[in-house]
Amino acid sequence: MVIIAGTVDVEIDNRDAALEAAKPHMKATRAQKGCMDYVWSPDSLVPGRIYVFERWETEEDLKLHFKGEHYWNMRETINSYNLLEIDMHKYRMDIMEPVYDPEGNPRGDFFTIE
């Protein structure tokens, strides 16, 4: 699995309009092969900031997304709302497990590894 997480900053007065304009691109991307999550949402404490969270089944699925029209359309849309800064990173996941153990306790360690 590949996770993309980060922030996009646009001019404060443009954030809500940018997110509204991005909805068709988000919806189309969610329908792409391998897309598990694709969320752009406002930061409630930093005006103008948008949080981005994506999960892709494979690196190949993400590569195809980057070559496709939905990715390029989203970039064009966000850029049209005066993009100020972007801080985005990708993570390849080698292990995943629940936050809560079988007793319902939150765990910071990886408790299912033997």
104: left (phi over 0), alpha (psi -120 to 50) or beta: left
Reported as a pLDDT band with limits 50, 70 and 90, residue 114 is low
CB 1 within 8 A of CB 36: yes
Taking the C-alpha atoms of residue 104 and residue 65, their distance in angstroms, rounded to an integer, is: 37
* Amino acid letter, residue 40: W
What is 2-92's CATH topology? Alpha-Beta Plaits (3.30.70)
What local confidence, expressed as pLDDT, does residue 64 receive? 97
CB 21 within 8 A of CB 52: no
| Model pLDDT for residues 11-62, shown as the tens digit of each residue | 999 999 999 999 999 999 999 999 999 999 999 999 999 999 999 999 999 9
In the chain, where the domains are located: 2-92
Which pTM value belongs to this model?
0.88
DSSP codes of every residue in the chain? -EEEEEEEEE-GGGHHHHHHHHHHHHHHHHTSTTEEEEEEEE-SSSTTEEEEEEEES-HHHHHHHHHSHHHHHHHHHHHTTTEEEEEEEEEE-S----SB-TTS-B-SS-TT--
